Structure 1
Amino acid sequence: MEEPTMTRIATLCASALFAGLAFTNAWAATPTEMLAGYSSQAGSSASAARGQEFFTTKHGKDWSCSSCHTATPTGDGKHAATGKHITPLAPAANAERFTDSAKTEKWFRRNCNDVVGRECTPGEKADVLAWLISLKK
Structure 2
Amino acid sequence: MNAPRLALQLLAVLAATLALALAPIAVQAATPGELIAGYTAQAGAAPVAARGQQFFNTTHGREWSCGSCHGAVPVQPGKHASTGKPIGALAPAANAERFTDAAKTEKWFRRNCNDVVGRECTAAEKADVMSWLLSLKS
Task: State the partner residue of 2:46.
Answer: 45
- 1:70 positional shift: 0.2
2:82 paired with 1:89: no
Letter in 2 for 1:56: N
Task: State the partner residue of 1:72.
Answer: 73
- Give 3-state SS (helix, strand or coil) of 2:52's partner: helix
Detail structure 1 runs of 4+ shifted over 3 Å in the superposition: none
Cα deviations across residues 51-98 of structure 1 (Å, max 9, x unaligned)? 000000000000000000000100000000000000000000000000
The question of whether the paired residues in 2 share the 8 Å contact of 1:35 and 1:130 is answered with: yes
- Give 3-state SS (helix, strand or coil) of 1:131's partner: helix
Task: State the partner residue of 1:18.
Answer: none
- 1:28 positional shift: 5.5
Letter in 2 for 1:62: E
What is the rounded CA distance, in whole Å, between the counterparts of 2:60 and 2:46 in structure 1?
22
Task: State the partner residue of 2:106.
Answer: 105
What is the rounded CA distance, in whole Å, between the counterparts of 1:94 and 1:27 in structure 2?
18
The question of whether the paired residues in 1 share the 8 Å contact of 2:69 and 2:81 is answered with: yes
Instruction: List runs of 5+ in structure 2 lacking aligned partners.
Output: 1-26
RMSD of aligned residue pairs (Cα, Å):
0.9
Instruction: List runs of 5+ in structure 1 lacking aligned partners.
Output: 1-25
Letter in 2 for 1:135: L
Percent identity reads 71
Larger Rg: 2
* TM-score normalised per structure 2: 0.79
What is the rounded CA distance, in whole Å, between the counterparts of 1:54 and 1:69 in structure 2?
13
* TM-score normalised per structure 1: 0.80
What is the rounded CA distance, in whole Å, between the counterparts of 2:73 and 2:45 in structure 1?
25
